[in-house]
Amino acid sequence: MKTNYQSISWNDIERLSKLLSKKILALSKDFSSISTISRGGLIPARLLSDHMGIDKIFVNPKKIPSDSLFVDDIYDSGYTFKKIIAKVNDPSNFIYATIFARRGKIYPKQLVYAEKTKDDQYIIYPWDKLEYLRTMKFKL
């Protein structure tokens, strides 16, 4: 169990969401929708939806159109990315957007992230604090 952690504030999330939306918009791609998974990607997806003016959000889709922006909270081991990319009908145009990317990993070309983690710290998002207090006994 990781005992080294970084607690992220709502202000951090708002700043990073704006930064991520700017990076995505700089790609000059048109997205028909946002796709995400529950639970980690729900709030980042909603924030990017607002920042980018994309109204449709699909949660836990069985298939993902290549013109749908996929949003998650963090790119870590690559496990989620591999599961998601298998659901995309044309991965060549696919974009996988995250608030954080784990430092020291090999990133897929489809990844766009707001910020790299400082090190191997466990990230605690504001929407996860109670869960981590219950399950990991962190003192925040």
pLDDT reading at 121 higher than 70: yes
Distance CA 20, CA 98 (A): 8
Task: Specify the number of domains making up the chain.
Answer: 1
Asked if the peptide bond before residue 103 counts as cis, ω within 30 degrees of 0, the response is no
To the nearest whole number, what is the mean pLDDT of the chain? 92
CATH label of the domain that carries residue 102:
3.40.50.2020
Q: How would DSSP label each residue in 76-136?
A: -SSHHHHHHHTTBS-GGG-EEEEEEE-TTSPPPTTEEEEEE-SSSPEEE-TTTHHHHHHHH
Q: What is the span of the domain harbouring residue 24?
A: 5-136
Helix, strand or coil, per DSSP, at residue 62: coil
- Strand 68-75 to strand 57-59: parallel, antiparallel, or no bridges (unpaired)? unpaired
Q: How confident is the model at residue 13 (pLDDT cuts 50, 70, 90)?
A: very high
Residue 96's beta-bridge partner residues? 70, 111
Span 54-98, pLDDT tens digits: 999 999 999 999 899 999 999 999 999 999 999 998 888 899 999
pLDDT reading at 1 higher than 50: no
Residue located via tokens 């003016």 = 53
